[in-house]
């Protein structure tokens, strides 16, 4: 790591803006508590999150200027509708994030909610309930530490 505190990229899907704000608040509170620094980026929906992370990986490769990210937090929500669109967005965004983690040794905290309805989403997003924004940060920071332990960063 560039210094003692990890620098994290938060990528949030804005399709459900109120849920995104709640999850981002939980994530930022967890990062602040951990003493990490972060930058927050928005994308239209969960499907676009992996590309945003890939852009950052490509832009901050070895020898590039600026401080690179030590880890990534993916925040979003997909709520089932009347078509199969839900299935594709859930599967493809999860697969793409897993591929990024494995192919680029990228610590990624997965915080994309996949819910049947809005009530389920709020139960998981709420800071005083499921707080999945904070849980995604905890997963990311654990993987940053593990990567550092193996001297990969």
Distance CA 105, CA 150 (A): 11
Residue 116 has pLDDT above 80, yes or no: yes
User: What residues are labeled active site?
Assistant: 85
For 22-71, the pLDDT digits (tens) are: 999 999 999 999 999 999 999 999 999 999 999 999 997 644 445 699 99
What are the residue ranges spanned by the domains of the chain? 7-149
Q: What is the mean pLDDT of residues 92-96?
A: 98
Could you tell me the fold of the domain covering 7-149? Rossmann fold (3.40.50)
Distance CA 120, CA 123 (A): 5
pLDDT at 67: 62
13 token code pair: 């899907």
Q: What is the pTM of this model?
A: 0.93
Q: Provide the sign of the torsion angle of the four alpha carbons 83, 125, 9, 42, taken in this order.
A: positive
pLDDT at 148: 94
Residue 103's pLDDT band (cuts 50, 70, 90): very high
* Dihedral of the alpha carbons of 128, 53, 101, 36, in degrees to the nearest 10: -50
Contact status, residue 39 vs residue 59, Cβ threshold 8 Å: no
Helix (H) / strand (E) element for 59: namely helix 49-59
Q: Provide the sign of the torsion angle of the four alpha carbons 50, 53, 59, 61, taken in this order.
A: negative
Contact status, residue 72 vs residue 143, Cβ threshold 8 Å: no
């Amino acid at each position: 790591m560039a210094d003692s505190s990890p620098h994290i990229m938060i990528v949030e899907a804005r399709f459900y803006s109120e849920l995104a704000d709640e999850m981002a608040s939980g994530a930022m509170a967890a990062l602040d508590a951990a003493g990490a620094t972060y930058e927050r980026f928005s994308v239209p929906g969960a499907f676009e999150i992996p590309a945003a992370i890939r852009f950052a990986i490509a832009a901050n490769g070895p020898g590039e200027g600026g401080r690179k990210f030590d880890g990534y937090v993916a925040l979003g929500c997909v709520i089932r509708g009347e078509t199969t669109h839900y299935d594709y967005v859930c599967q493809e965004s999860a697969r793409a994030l897993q591929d990024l983690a494995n192919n680029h040794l990228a610590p990624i905290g997965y915080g994309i909610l996949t819910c049947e309805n809005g009530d389920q989403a709020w139960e998981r997003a709420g800071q005083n309930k499921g707080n999945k924004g904070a849980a995604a940060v905890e997963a990311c920071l654990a993987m940053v530490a593990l990567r550092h332990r193996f001297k990969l960063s």
